[in-house]
Amino acid sequence: MVFLLISIQISRGQYDDIANIVKYGFSILIFGILMGVFVGILTIYWMKMMNNSNTLTINVMIVSTYLTYFISENLYQFFYSNGLVSVITLGVFMSAFTRTKVRSESEYSIEVFW
């Protein structure tokens, strides 16, 4: 996806030297990763506040995924972030840190849903 965005910008003639192309590519990756981690931290905090509700926990996960994508795509004009990179980062972050944060009662429901 990052290579596609870079090739679109090159074909439009916006970037003509390699330094600007590399800077643009890294800014897409960096801001996408930062957005995914930021929403992941907020999601884990939000899930800690749940009172053993399986439905709310699953809904928070779905809403956080869509929220990450929409925010990241709308911030593209300012920070050159990418929604796909942000959602992938959110998924990796959530898989690494959610297991210990989710209540044991909700864990089975989450596994069945995903």
Which domain does 48 fall in, by range?
28-113
Check residue 13 and give its pLDDT. Answer: 73
Cα(111)–Cα(114) distance, rounded to whole angstroms?
A: 5
Cα(49)–Cα(59) distance, rounded to whole angstroms?
A: 14
Alpha-carbon distances of 113 from 6, 57, 61, 107, rounded to whole Å? 36, 11, 11, 10
Check residue 38 and give its pLDDT. Answer: 93
21 domain residue, yes or no: no
Domain count, the chain: 1
81 domain residue, yes or no: yes
5 domain residue, yes or no: no
- Nearest of 97, 72, 75 to residue 86 by alpha carbon: 72
Check residue 59 and give its pLDDT. Answer: 86
Check residue 45 and give its pLDDT. Answer: 87
Ranges of residues in the chain whose predicted pLDDT is under 70:
1-3, 6, 15, 51-52, 76, 100-107, 113-114
Cα(103)–Cα(52) distance, rounded to whole angstroms?
A: 7
Check residue 37 and give its pLDDT. Answer: 93
Check residue 2 and give its pLDDT. Answer: 64
